[in-house]
Amino acid sequence: MSGGKIARSGPALLPGVGGLSPGVTLAILVLSLIAALDLIGVAGAARTLRAWPARLAGSVTVVATGGGIESADAAAARVAEILGRTPGVSRVRVLDPAPEDALAAWIIGDSLAGGSTADDPDLSPLKPRLLSVMLKPGSSLTARGLTKFLNDQGPRVAVDDHGIWSGPLERAALVVAGGAAMLLVVLLWGVWNLVAGGVRRSFGRHAERLVLLTHLGAAEPVLTGPFRRGLTLTAAVGAGLGVFAAAGVGALLIWSPDAAIALAGLGVPLPAIAPLDLAAGLAWLLVAVPIGALAARIAAIVALRRMS
């Protein structure tokens, strides 16, 4: 040994410390896979839920029932003509009866759709006709206003305000986001405990050497550093692999309809995800790795102080 080589090539202070911890890596990988799938699903769901209120607010359905000598078909034609020249309306379309019936049957059941005596125009035995009405962006027209406007001009109609679904959808979006956030907190807690437990176990395995090095005057960062680096690396690799795996699952669902259908057949709820949603998993890396690093740092300091 020549002079000056001690610091670089002398004996390792803590041999075997500072590398990957395979068991902890695997456990963090699993948590990260769940977390990243959660984030990807939430991204898709949030995008969908954001889009619906805008679409609902911009359209209404007019139910034309007719009355007296006027049939529902005639009433629908008259409504279409009136609305076609009404400012604020961009498009009016009388829906085909067959799809209407199918839709009604799907929603309320065959027996009711086939003929009901209910007063509700939707269930009227007169078989009302439906008109889909698109409003111009910024239009001041409301369902109530349109109902009055049309009834004043003759046709017996009711206008279904789609906007009433916006509130429940927005609340559903909040519930989805809140549930996902709670799941992420639980998963982060899991990462914290896995990393801290890994540090404690590693400290236990090297206790004798640590006590000796403490007596020999080693500074705290020198003693805790290898444990901190090793478990931070473990958290980063586990989280990275988990996010990568989740992106793979997401990609499979986007580009392999068969897989999506198979999962849907198993009762797995599948939000509509887009390629851009796959990037949402990266957010997990930005949170989980610093959390892992912090857990490793605190656990190492606490373990060393308990030891010495």
Partner 1 sequence: MISSEPPSPRAPALLRLQSVAVRQSAGDSEGVAISFDVVAGGAHVLTGETGSGKTAILEMIGLARTPARGGLELFGQNVARVPRPARHTLRRRIGMIFQDLRLVDDLSADDNVALAVRAAGRVGQGLATEIAEVLSWVGLGQRRQAMAGALDDDGRRRLALARAVINRPDLVIADEPAGKTSQAILALLADLNQAGTAILLATRDGALAANAGAEVTHVSRERTAVGGRP
308 binds partner 1 (CB under 8 A): yes
We find the least distance from the C-beta atom of residue 294 to partner 1, in angstroms, to be 18
Would you say 50 or 305 has its CB closer to partner 1?
Answer: 305
13 binds partner 1 (CB under 8 A): yes
282 binds partner 1 (CB under 8 A): no
Tokens 């796959």 identify what position?
Answer: 278
Pair of tokens at residue 86:
């009404």
Would you say 87 or 217 has its CB closer to partner 1?
Answer: 217
306 binds partner 1 (CB under 8 A): no
Given CA atoms 14, 293, 237, 182 in this order, what sign does their dihedral have?
positive
Q: How many residues bind partner 1 (CB under 8 A)?
A: 25
Would you say 186 or 219 has its CB closer to partner 1?
Answer: 219
In the list 94, 108, 112, 213, the residue contacting partner 1 (rule: CB under 8 A) is 213
Alpha-carbon gap, residue 57 to 253, rounded angstroms: 30
Task: Give the type of residue at 126.
Answer: L
Rounded to the nearest 10 degrees, what angle do helices 282-307 and 166-205 cross at? 40
| Contact set for partner 1, span 214-253 (CB under 8 A) | 214-220, 222
164 binds partner 1 (CB under 8 A): no
Range in contact with partner 1 (rule: CB under 8 A) among 32-40, 208-216, 262-270, 272-280:
208-216
We find the least distance from the C-beta atom of residue 6 to partner 1, in angstroms, to be 4
Alpha-carbon gap, residue 43 to 245, rounded angstroms: 17
212 binds partner 1 (CB under 8 A): yes
Would you say 2 or 140 has its CB closer to partner 1?
Answer: 2
Cβ(185)–Cβ(148) below 8 Å: no
Would you say 178 or 221 has its CB closer to partner 1?
Answer: 221
Would you say 85 or 215 has its CB closer to partner 1?
Answer: 215
We find the least distance from the C-beta atom of residue 14 to partner 1, in angstroms, to be 10
In the list 10, 68, 87, 138, the residue contacting partner 1 (rule: CB under 8 A) is 10
270 binds partner 1 (CB under 8 A): no
3 binds partner 1 (CB under 8 A): yes
| Contact set for partner 1, span 96-155 (CB under 8 A) | none
Task: List interacting residues with partner 1 (CB under 8 A).
Answer: 1-7, 10-11, 13, 208-209, 211-220, 222, 305, 308
